[in-house]
Structure 1
Amino acid sequence: MASVSSVRSSSSSIYGNRNVISGLASGMDTESMIENAVSGYKTKISTLQQKRTKVEWQQEVYRSIIGKMSSFSDKYTSYASSTNLLSSGFFNQAVKVTATGKYADMVSASGKTSSSVQILGVKQLARAATYTVSGIGGKTADKPEFTGSAVDLSVKKELSNVSGSLTIKYGGDRSFTLDFGELDIYENADKLAEAIRSKLGEQTMTLSDGTSVKASEKIDVKVNDEGNIEFSEKGGAGNAVTISGATGKIKDTLKITADGTESTLNTKDVELVDKSSTLGDYLSGKELTLTLDGVTKKIKLPEYKKDGTALSNDAYTTALQTKINEAFGAGKVALEKVGAADGKSFSLKFSTTQAGSTLSVSGDAAKALGLDKAATYVNTSKTLGELLGDKADVWNAFDKVEAEGDVKPVNKKGSSDVDYYIDSKGNRVKSEDGGKTYYRVDDKGEFLREFKINGKLVGAFNKDTALETVLTSINGNADVGVKVSYSKTTNQFQFTARETGAGSLDMGDGLAKALFGGGTKEDGLDAIFSMKVNGQELDGISRSSNTFDVDGMSVSLKGTFTATEADAVSFTSSSDADKIVDTIKSMVEDYNAMVTEIKNAYSTMPQQKSNGKYYEPLTEEDKADMSESSIKAYEEKAKQGLLFADRDLSALYTQLTSAISMSGKDGADLKAIGITSNYSNGLTTLSLNEEKLRAALETDPDKVRDVFSKSVASGSSSNGLMQALKSPLDMYSKTQGTKGILVQKAGSTLAPSTLYKNTLQNKLDDIDTQIEKWQDKMADQVDRYTSKFTALEKLISQMNSQSSALASFLGSNG
């Protein structure tokens, strides 16, 4: 008889995770037999996987080409680039302008002008209007400080008897740990069960099919008739739910053994809340998190009672000051007790002794001491309600934001009932006067209040809006024309007009004034200067900016002065040929690299083996017996010619080469400045003669500029080189707005939204669906054959047993 095969359960086995004894009774290699039976399915799956790999490789080639084209566009045709050959300004700015005269360091200039310009004096520089306010509503003390709300250490403080952690085990390998704080009060078993359900709802588990669900969807928590909390499984899949761990008071209070066998918390007749402690008892030994100038330390609070005697408020304050001094050093943080009228409660006042220091406290202990999020600076993550108060009378004093345009109803899905109303801008609105006037509201239906600077609407906010949202809205609203910054060190908000020039900033009334009123203004100023242009003296000129144009030359004022005509600032200009030449040379090199890759991609044929077949991607089985170097060498051949005869790339190449192959005057001008197109080995590229280009820049720089930057859109009779190239580049590789042809086809990391939505990705998704279908079919066949062979093994085993029994019986009677 053949040897007994071992249990097969490795991932490489045809059985997958199935544990099957192969050939135990029959001696047959059933796995090999099943493998042969489903070999057709395996071949189909491998073929699809090879096809998938090839599509991925094609995607990589397209994306490489898109990357080169986008880089070329960004570098040479974008107005955000300092090497934008499409802009005539690049050629003007590439002119060296030198200021001469006694006050030459007070003025600079760039660009080209044919006029004679002299600056005779600068009376006043332009500046932007500013508005500075300390803290919210200008309510900042002379030194950095804050005071908590009043607390009474002797007052009763309810504490949880079930603080700590509880670990729930689901099935054999899933555990969920739930944490409960000392201040989390649950009056009875129902409240505790509700909290457990809520905490389970915050955690997820992954099911066997790969889907994720909330733990609360699989674990049932209920209070039974006896008043105890029971855990069980929802759905009846046969998984046990037990208590596998517990720490802290919850373990002692509920007498949890946590041996993994219990499914019930004994909450019947148990006091879940400790009502005997005081606030001082709770705070004893707790840690106060204190941050001074960016350095955070934990300060252990004093013991409230010693030998049964409670500390006085003064003694408590002194003890805490001592601990702060030990942590940061004496004389850095001052602590003061502020008494209350009742004589029992008091507030803690913190201050720093050095100007520019920042101080904050945080944590549960700080909250209990009336110091929740307290700091010497404004916490911009706080809501407007926290900063201004959330009372109705406060917010009703601020103007609501009226709806824009016509208002129309939005009906509930599948119903004629009105769900809510929107204005012409799509903002949700509602009325409080029967539909006469509508105002903007948030998703909860709360009215939004207008925030205006200089009478212009910045945004619509309410008490739930974070201050940082308001600041972001100000900086993001170009129409308002204001920037705002905040310094924690000085606790000051500074508003600055985006543009210099005469004007002022005004918070006006309403919400803006409540937040930022009480500040100081500094009006903006125009620049005032005198100059002489082509011999004509111009005195008392004003400009809103310190940089302005004089007949094509950009002049920048840096300081004030008064000069005689002999000391006047004059300008001489010369071409900065190096910058222009270097940029054009770089453009030629980048263009040639780009078109070479495009041409090679569609003109290179796939490589064939000696038997005439093409190289296909390797399967995992192929790779198993190959070295890394062999795999790399093979895949280089398999990747050759992936996009052979691609029509899109062929059309793109034709358009790019047509753009540089200019005729008539445009072609002659291009050659005159040293740029020619060359055809060799089927490839058209550009070449540059630097000597000719430099000569053209010296003799006729305007021609060089026009060859590159002119366009029909700007009034020329034809497009220059860069506009001619920009059209096909945008058509095929544009990543903003309407996407280019290649981007739609293969996606690009430069346009993240296209990575999972493009033609080739759709093809990959389709292949994945086919692979999954064939894998399911193969699995069904394996299950069918496995079942039949298992039954055969059982039958042969029974026959062998009967045969052995019969032989033994005959032998004993022989």
Structure 2
Amino acid sequence: MPIRLSGMSSGLDTDAIVQALVSSYSTTKTNLEKAQTKLSWKQDAWKTLNTKVYSFYTGKLSAMRLSSSYSKKTSSVSNSTIAKVTASSGAVNGNQKLIVKQLASAGYLTGGVISATKDGEKASVTGSTKLSEITGMGDYANGGTLKVKATASGGTKTVSLTSDMTVNQFVAALKDAGLSANFDSGNQRIFINSKTSGLDGEFTLEGADGNGTGALKALGLLTSSEAKNNYSAVAGWTDADVVANAKSAYNSKIASYNKTIQSYLAGNSSLKNANETTLAYRKEYAEIYAAKLSYEDTYDADGKLVSQTATAASRAEAFKAVNEKIDALKNSDRKKELEDRKAAGEKLNDTETAELDEFNSRIAAAEKVAGDLGNDTLLVTRTRKETVNDDGSTTAVMEDNDIDKYIKGISSAIKTNEETIASNMEAIYNLHKEVDSSFDKTSFDADSATEDNALITVDFAEGDTLDAATAANSANKLASDLIASYKAQREEAKTKLAQYEEAQKKADAGQASAADNELLGIGSSSGSAAVRITGQDAIIELNGATFTSNTNNFSVNGLTIQALSVNSASDPVTITTDTDVDGIYNMIKDFFKEYNEIVNYMDEKYNASSAKGYEPLTDDEKDAMTDTEIEKWETKIKDSLLRKDNTLSTISNSMKTNMLKSYEINGTKYNLSSFGIATLSYFTAGDNEHGAFHIDGNADDSQTSGNTDKLRAAIASDPDTVVEFFSKLTTEVYNDLTKRMSRTNLSSAYTLYNDKQMNTEYSNYSTKISEWETKISEKEDYYYKKFSSMESALSKLNSQQSSLSNYFS
């Protein structure tokens, strides 16, 4: 809106005059806005009602049409501690006998108490404890393998153990293999169980070799029965088995050794490259920097040298010297030549590539030194420090400044890398000596070591017999040790089995149990033996037929049975199934509750008090009222918007009429009153509740609770008739609403009112309001121009009068 300065000459309130002149236009626009607001409120009123009816239509009304909705059954058991039973619509009425023979359970393995050994002392086990630290583990974890067979996940999976594997990593590996596992640090035990109950979830955990069995024993996961089986298997090894196991373990160790050697070689290569390039270059340029420095000495009163400070001028010269090196490298003709050829797409040979890399490495090193030593925050003063010797004399030294420390730090890093390289080489030599005790370390060194000559290539020698294999591998220390180890495992297993057989001959069961624990290598009173509970399926017998399940839940012929405990065949549980009278009754009651709410709502809106004389408020009118007054005013209008509405009347009357219809079933006519369902009399019913239905005997209805409950009696005695009647009744109501909510040119699908027509009317109002706003603006501009012309004329007249007045004064 433009800013107008009016009435300056005339003294008139031009704005008020203009607004009065266009007031008839403004009134028309205001009336259109009020009509549009009223239409918007009416749309909201219809949307609210439509939502209620549509929810009823798709919910309870739709369900009541279907006979399956009435197929409700109830079941009870004579002993609720044995089983819990629910019935679906497909369950057969009558009594059935149930025997729970067995409950389903998951497989469990509760590990024995374990401990760790650190620095020769007994220690508690934590999740981060390495397997090699577990007491009794020895070398079992180094290459040991476990076999896990979990029925639920299918197949057999292996878990490979390493000495540096932690307890948490071991537990995670068991989980990956298909088990549920956990380490309880409080009880120092490993707990394992199947992921599902029943035989389908059962599992086995055993050692794939002697090391695997030994590892299980150390981890407290070997039961006496599993130990017997494992020892029996090991004791039954043939000579060929011993050789095959030793060869397999040998190949695994060699692969592990070579992987370690490859890691050492890669590390050495990286360290050597750093020493020969990055660190060497930095040292070179740092020494160039240091060589340019001049120090200013400071003495005390006694003439002692107390400090030396690098002068600012010399530091500048030092910095300049390094930067000159950088510039020379960057501007080298040879460097530019190589870069230009490479940029042109030419492939440089290896020597040229290395040459260009050296240029770039030297530049990076020199820039690093320039940046580090050119830092103004560096301490560049060497300070005298005196140390008192044992004899009382003193030794004075000048402590390094930051520049000295920087250079020495580079030298120290080079030395550390050299020591690491030497240590890695010693580790590689030791791995070779584990295979060949006569290995000569001079066959290669750090400079000549490559995968071609540093990897272990000694194979396990073949032999037709155990003795032949032993002899063939006599020069191979690792192979010989492994053959001897597997032979020893076989002999140990035979000894353990013999001890067990001897113990079983004793009459004392306690002694036999002790022999079991001895077989595990644990004391009989330590409490560290593993306990195994196998998983099992649940088994029930219903009416003489046997059923199994991997859970305690069964679904049989419409019954859902949850087994809770076992009972004997002599004391079966009786399951009684019958029609769920309460379920059907409550469904019908809930249907009428929602129906009544909708019909009462319709009647309330149709019979609402008139709001004649009430129109939506303008902003000016609202400014003159309180919020409470505004709310009451608008509520009065909104409540009356559907008053005496023909569409609402048609819908309401149609629903009421359909609910009063009669239907013939097996030669007899029925209506709602046949089942004790009717509306109240005109004088008894409350306002706007004359269309609501009440059920005789309904405990929740104060009006009819004392009457005879015909509906419940009918459901109990003749449920089929009840179902057929209500299915026909609700189908009629449903079909009628379907027609009334169908799509037309004036209404959308599933809509009771003419929403499309109302939307069009609303848009038309918007167009008309916009048109009248334009008319008002044009009229205002017209009148303002007129008044502006008048003001201009008056201004000129006033100016002329002023001039004349001045002339005669």
TM range (shorter): 0.3 to 0.5
Larger strand proportion, structure 1 or 2?
A: 1
TM-score of the aligned structures, taking structure 1 as reference length: 0.41
Where relative contact order (Cα < 8 A, 6+ residues apart) is larger, the structure is 2
The structure number with the bigger radius of gyration is 2
